[in-house]
Homo-oligomer: A and B are copies of this chain.
């Protein structure tokens, strides 16, 4: 049995969202045909990743995440994903990879950012300019920008004022998605849609939803005539492809079927 492992808790709902997307991207007619998945959601153990990147806490969340990945490996996991974009910043993700190597781990840790870039390049050859909707942490560290460039794509980022509005839609204590997600407030949603239009004005032909909270708020495949690439859903597809490729839903049943832009 090949087991898919998920590092949950960053945040708790993002772990659930990734698990849901693994199930909905799987070809299965009855319970027994679904894939084996272990979700370890231990949020209290993991230091805040944004606080760490900003130098406000000393404790690198990489240590706790490494321990959790080793627990998943002990359960039998052969492949693992972390549904948090900020965790993919080099000072954290690089340390996790190094820790795993030092511990002699043979688990395959997928990099969500690389998976998104190679998904776009492989499946949608016509696309070039990709807008990125994310937190300010991801924006500042250019987590997507450098990986997209490495894959021959042109990243399109918001200007500072627009970025602040996007960040507030996620983090604001009164109307942001982290504070009010059931349901998302109209104000948060509107600010994200304005961010998306801003990226379109700047030339983006498609948008990466590069923050797990944005996926809840904009659960669409297209918006403002732009294809939306949900990073969590792409990671879900990669985890399936790496473990049970025969069970992966074909692209045309996956929601990622942008005929108008792929030219197919």
Contacts and interface: CB of A to CB of B under 8 A. Distances in A.
A52 to B, nearest CB: 13
Interface stretch (A42-50, A119-127, A146-154, A202-210): A42-50
A41 B23 CA distance: 11
Contacts of A9: 31, 34, 36
Contacts of A39: 19, 37-39, 41
A40 B38 contact: yes
A48 B32 CA distance: 8
A230 to B, nearest CB: 15
B10 A16 contact: no
A182 interface: yes
Nearest to A42: B36
A137 interface: no
A174 interface: no
Contacts of A46: 31-32
B24 A11 contact: no
A19 B12 CA distance: 10
Contacts of A35: 44
A38 B11 CA distance: 14
B12 A34 contact: yes
A41 B39 CA distance: 8
A92 to B, nearest CB: 15
